[in-house]
Structure 1
Amino acid sequence: MNIVKNMEAVVIAAVALTFVTAMASAEAPRARSAAQTAPAAAVKADTEMTTIVVTGKRLTAAQKADLAA
């Protein structure tokens, strides 16, 4: 009968125990070695950004109305 009255405390304790256990058993991330990182030449080769220039005339009000219809 006592457990039914304190069910909220039991659930919170179970969640806290699960969280602490998960944190205690988690593995810390390892540092990357030089072999796992991308070569510097491959990174520098792709640094130029492509530029696109669009030229054209603006539509008149009549042309916009024709497209909307």
Structure 2
Amino acid sequence: MNNYFQAYPLYLKASDIMDALQVSKTKAYEILQRPDCPTVTLGKSKRVHRDKFFEYIVSLEGKTLPA
């Protein structure tokens, strides 16, 4: 995985996704709610492993997410 990604915490939260993808808070939460996003639920919070998240994003290349 790219060294750029190593700057992010091991488990990403919505604010990390906002920063990495330059998206709104709403869009970051929508991504975390997608059934195909590899999240871990901790109580009411969702997190996603950094490496799995960036692999997931790359797998979406060429696809359009619903608005």
TM over 0.5, yes or no? no
Higher strand share: 2
Q: Which has the greater radius of gyration?
A: 1
